[in-house]
Amino acid sequence: MQKVIKSVKGDIVNLQKIGIFYNKENQKANYLALTIGKTLKHKGLDSVVLTTNEYDSDITFAIVLGGDGTILRTARFYAPFEVPILGINLGRLGFLSQAKSNQVDEAIDCILSGKFLIEDRIMLSARNGEMNALNDFVIKGDGFSRTSRLYVHINDNIVCDYLADGIIISTPTGSTAYTLSAGGPILFPTLDAMVVVPICPHTMNARPIVIPSCEVIKVTSSQNKPLLKISADGQNTLNLDANEDIEIKKSQYSAKLLLLNLEKNSFYSVLKEKLHWGLSWKG
């Protein structure tokens, strides 16, 4: 079996060592991972079944079983290694996935026949690259049901002064996640841009802002609160001193998501299917 597959558009996926990742708390995912491993072996391909606590830097291609959270976690780990990721949805919405559990065989055949493309998705970094995010960074005060005064600087120019529950700095990929719930715009996922969205601001004048990804965002706080919290993709959270300036910019890494040429897999089709976007209400 050929181990390096080239798509019609010239994208390349190396199937030398395939990692099949699943959340160990999901029994359905465990069974499906073992089934996929047998299917790949039957096709002459080597694979290893691992949990999302057992990432292997030698993997050349990753198949991730689960919801968007599982895919985000895997994407953050493999971005520095430029490993393409195929998501199989076992969650609810599954914006980052490309196939359902009953479409796995079809998905594998698509890859082997070159019917795919690899999309680079920009990521964000904070604290000098200590934290990376594919969806978003969320900054909040360390207090339940308390607002924070947060100042947003862009390229060292103060732009906004928010009294709000927090701020979201999002990529286009994350624009259909928390950002959307907070009233932010939906961006096409390959745009080279970032979105700044206040969370429940105490003013009618605060609106989301879309800026080029080359800009550098700095968030500062007033000094009357002891701590701030910053989270990456809603998973990695750090407590920071409120006096610390938080700098967020485009990461040097990008996530590589493998997209299949299946029906209803275009971005606009996904919006319609998963968000019922643009569909009129029928009473």
Residue 181 · residue 173 · CB < 8 Å: no
**CATH of region 4-115+261-275, choose from 3.20.20.70, 3.90.660.10, 3.90.280.10, 3.40.50.10330:** 3.40.50.10330
Query: Residue 281: is its pLDDT beyond 90?
Result: no
The answer to whether domain 4-115+261-275 and domain 125-251 are alike in fold is no
Give the model confidence (pLDDT) of 41-95 as tens digits: 999 999 999 998 899 999 999 999 998 999 999 999 999 999 999 999 987 777 8
CA distance linking residue 34 with residue 269, whole number of Å: 30
Looking at residues 229-235, what average pLDDT do you find? 95
User: Closest Cα partner for 87 from 41, 119, 114, 45?
Assistant: 119
Residue 137 · residue 228 · CB < 8 Å: no
Residue 142 has what pLDDT? 74
Query: Residue 224: is its pLDDT beyond 60?
Result: yes
CA distance linking residue 198 with residue 171, whole number of Å: 15
- In the residue annotation, 68 being an active-site residue is answered as yes
Q: What residue ranges do the domains of the chain occupy?
A: 4-115+261-275, 125-251
Residue 22 · residue 127 · CB < 8 Å: no
CA 28 to chain centre: 23
Number of C-beta neighbours around residue 188 at 10 A: 10
pTM for this predicted structure? 0.91
DSSP, residue by residue, the chain: --SEEE-TTS-EEE-SSEEEEE-TT-HHHHHHHHHHHHHHHHTT--EEEEETT---TT-SEEEEEE-HHHHHHHHHHHGGGT--EEEEE-SSS-TT--EEGGGHHHHHHHHHTT-EEEEEEEEEEETTTTEEESSEEEEEESSTT--EEEEEEETTEEEEEEEESEEEEE-SGGGGTHHHHTTPPP--TT-SEEEEEEES-SSSS---EEEETTS-EEEEE-TTSSEEEEEETTTEEEEEETTS-EEEEEEEEEEEEEEE--TT-SHHHHHHHHH-TTPPP--
Structure tokens that stand for 200 in this block: 């429940």
Query: Residue 169: is its pLDDT beyond 80?
Result: yes
Residue 226 has what pLDDT? 66
Residue 84 has what pLDDT? 98
Give the model confidence (pLDDT) of 102-156 as tens digits: 999 999 999 999 999 999 999 999 999 999 999 999 999 876 657 888 999 999 9
Residue 222 has what pLDDT? 75
CA distance linking residue 110 with residue 15, whole number of Å: 13
Q: Active site residue: 11, 56, 58, 68, which one?
A: 68
Residue 178 has what pLDDT? 95
Looking at residues 250-264, what average pLDDT do you find? 87
Least confident interval from 35-44, 141-150, 170-179: 141-150
Residue type (1 letter), 97: S
Fold that domain 125-251 belongs to in CATH: Tumour Suppressor Smad4 (2.60.200)
User: Does residue 165 come out as left (phi exceeding 0), alpha (psi in the -120 to 50 range) or beta?
Assistant: alpha
Structure tokens that stand for 66 in this block: 């689960």
Mean pLDDT of the chain: 90
Query: Residue 209: is its pLDDT beyond 70?
Result: yes
